[in-house]
Structure 1
Amino acid sequence: MNLLFLGDVVGRAGRDAVLAHLPELRRRLATDFVVVNGENAAGGFGITEKIARDFFDAGVDCITTGNHVWDQKELVGAIDRETRILRPLNFPEGTPGRGAAVFQAPRGRRVLVANVMGRLFMDPLDDPFAAVGHVLRQVRLGAGAGAGNGVDAVIVDVHAEATSEKMAMGHFCDGRASLVVGTHSHVPTADLQILPGGTAYQSDAGMCGDYDSVIGMKKEVSIARFVRKLPTERMTPAENEATVCGVFVRTDDRTGLGVRAEPVRIGGRLAPHLPEA
């Protein structure tokens, strides 16, 4: 299978870039399944149903989130209706929505997507490793579509601050997932690789946003906060042309494990990189 994961979408600039480039990316890469982290898509804070629908119409199959998932209050009531939006798996029992789901892909194939949030320097949620481990034990990767609990691919979005926690999750899932990819830091890391057990891994996919900024937000406000240590106006997303950042993974049809992993960067300020189909 050909999988595409796009990192945190930040504000209108990020949304516009994803909507503009995704149809061609799907065609060029013959993509079977697309996941986008959308937790900063609405003005930098959360996501709305309308924005989610726009992503789905453009070719997104699943939207993951993170610590800003509830910033747009409407999502609390909507997330149970729109099952293609995931919230972190390790929220307490009884939280609306779900953190993992199996989705149908072309030609009868099945893809498990799990969204989990780290605990280092973030909210003290339930154990992310126990949560992911429980989900992975429920499926058999590479067992073939339609074969009971078999899935053809497993994608894990680790929304976390610390690279050490993300790396540990990658190795924890190695051999049991097609792709483990970090989000939240908004900066693409240079460690994209296939781990020894066959799982594609990157510590952070980077953001889909304007990189003439401080992690997607207007740089003047962020600089003032660091320099003056005084209250400032509310941070808002930078609005110039965005770079779409993510990772492309090709899996082995028999095992479901990664055989190829390449970064995706298109538009905006970062050096472009587009995988060959």
Structure 2
Amino acid sequence: MRILFVGDVVGNAGQEMIATYLPQLKQKYHPQVTIVNGENATRGRGIDQIVYKHLLQQGADVVSMGNHTWDNPAIENFIQDAPRLIRPANFSAGQVPGQGFTLVKVNTIEVAVINLQGRVFMNPSDDPFAVAEDLLTRIKKRTKVIIVDFHAETTSEKEAFAWCFDGQVSAVLGTHTHVQTNDARILPDGTAFLSDVGMTGPYDGILGMQRGNVIKRFINQMPTRFEVAEDGRKTLGACVIELNDTTGKATKIKAVQINPDHPFIS
């Protein structure tokens, strides 16, 4: 089985890259399941129903979220009726709408996709390790193919999570920091790992935001509003994972970038 995972979609630029390249990536790699992180998809903060449906129409099977889940209040109006939209499972248990994982049927096999958020340098949330243990107890009764979008700030927390659950999940894929890392690997017990898949959106901004205000913030430490850098060149960050259908173990992981420095080759 092959899984395609696309990193944080940022604003209109990210949506444009999805519309242009997701169909081409699917044609090239023929994934059975496509997962897209959409937590920055609507104007760089959260997601609304129009954009959620747009991502599904372009080929996403699951849309995952992160720390900006609630930044666009419109999500509260539809998240309960969006079976392919998942927010971090370790958000205050029983106190927020939505679901932390979903199951996608591929022929006779179910693929579980879990969304979790780290706690280091992030807003308060429940313990992702404990929540994962509880979820896996239930999910493993249905499938061994389990993909985790671990939305976190530090590589150490992402690595710790991946090593903790090596062999229990098929892949731990980091999101949130918007810069693709060069550490794609298969851990000893069969879990694919990548610290950060990277983002999909403005290539010449800073983490997708307009450069000027970000630079000023570092220079003068004054509060400033970050705006998505919608103009200019664009990038797409993704990865492709190959899995053993029977064991759920990963056999290969490949990082993918599409931008002016890494042109798409069909």
Q: Could you say which TM-score interval applies, normalised by the shorter chain?
A: over 0.9
1:220 shift after superposition: 1.0
User: Is the Cα–Cα contact under 8 Å of residues 144 and 169 in structure 2 kept in the other structure?
Assistant: no
User: Is the Cα–Cα contact under 8 Å of residues 112 and 147 in structure 2 kept in the other structure?
Assistant: yes
SS at match of 2:150: strand
1:30 shift after superposition: 1.1
The farther-off stretch of 94-103 and 228-237 is 228-237
Mapped to 2, the partners of 1:229 and 1:94 lie a distance apart of 35
TM-superposition CA deviations, 1:206-228 (whole Å, max 9, x none): 00112211101011111111112
Q: What amino acid is aligned across from residue 227 of structure 1 in structure 2?
A: I
- Equivalences for 1:136-215 in 2 at 5 Å? 136-140=136-140, 149-151=141-143, 153-215=145-207
Q: Percent identity?
A: 38
Counterpart in 2 of 1:79?
A: 79
User: Is the Cα–Cα contact under 8 Å of residues 12 and 239 in structure 1 kept in the other structure?
Assistant: no
Counterpart in 1 of 2:228?
A: 236
Q: What amino acid is aligned across from residue 65 of structure 1 in structure 2?
A: M
Q: What amino acid is aligned across from residue 192 of structure 2 in structure 1?
A: A
Q: What amino acid is aligned across from residue 239 of structure 1 in structure 2?
A: D
Say yes or no: does 1:269 pair with 2:242.
Answer: no
The farther-off stretch of 252-261 and 114-123 is 252-261
1:150 shift after superposition: 2.9
Mapped to 1, the partners of 2:158 and 2:230 lie a distance apart of 27
User: Is the Cα–Cα contact under 8 Å of residues 34 and 61 in structure 1 kept in the other structure?
Assistant: yes
Mapped to 2, the partners of 1:111 and 1:247 lie a distance apart of 17
User: Is the Cα–Cα contact under 8 Å of residues 209 and 226 in structure 2 kept in the other structure?
Assistant: no
Mapped to 1, the partners of 2:156 and 2:253 lie a distance apart of 21
Counterpart in 2 of 1:56?
A: 56
Structure 1, unpaired ranges of 5+? 141-148
SS at match of 1:80: helix
Mapped to 2, the partners of 1:232 and 1:87 lie a distance apart of 27
Mapped to 1, the partners of 2:95 and 2:221 lie a distance apart of 38
Aligned residues: 265
Mapped to 1, the partners of 2:229 and 2:40 lie a distance apart of 9
1:137 shift after superposition: 1.5
User: Is the Cα–Cα contact under 8 Å of residues 8 and 199 in structure 2 kept in the other structure?
Assistant: yes
Q: What amino acid is aligned across from residue 109 of structure 1 in structure 2?
A: I
- C-alpha distance 60-264 of structure 1, shift in aligned 2 (>3 A): same
Counterpart in 1 of 2:23?
A: 23
SS at match of 1:151: coil
Q: What amino acid is aligned across from residue 124 of structure 1 in structure 2?
A: P
Give the aligned CA root-mean-square deviation in angstroms.
1.5
Q: What amino acid is aligned across from residue 101 of structure 2 in structure 1?
A: A
Match 2:208 to one of 216, 221, 237:
216
1:235 shift after superposition: 2.5
SS at match of 1:35: strand
TM-superposition CA deviations, 1:161-213 (whole Å, max 9, x none): 01111001111121111110110000000110000010100000000112211
Q: TM-score, normalised by structure 1?
A: 0.91
Mapped to 2, the partners of 1:21 and 1:235 lie a distance apart of 24
User: Is the Cα–Cα contact under 8 Å of residues 214 and 226 in structure 2 kept in the other structure?
Assistant: no
User: Is the Cα–Cα contact under 8 Å of residues 180 and 196 in structure 2 kept in the other structure?
Assistant: yes
Q: What amino acid is aligned across from residue 169 of structure 1 in structure 2?
A: F
Mapped to 2, the partners of 1:207 and 1:269 lie a distance apart of 15
SS at match of 1:56: helix
SS at match of 1:138: helix
Structure 2, unpaired ranges of 5+? none
- C-alpha distance 12-138 of structure 1, shift in aligned 2 (>3 A): same
Counterpart in 2 of 1:249?
A: 241
1:60 shift after superposition: 0.2
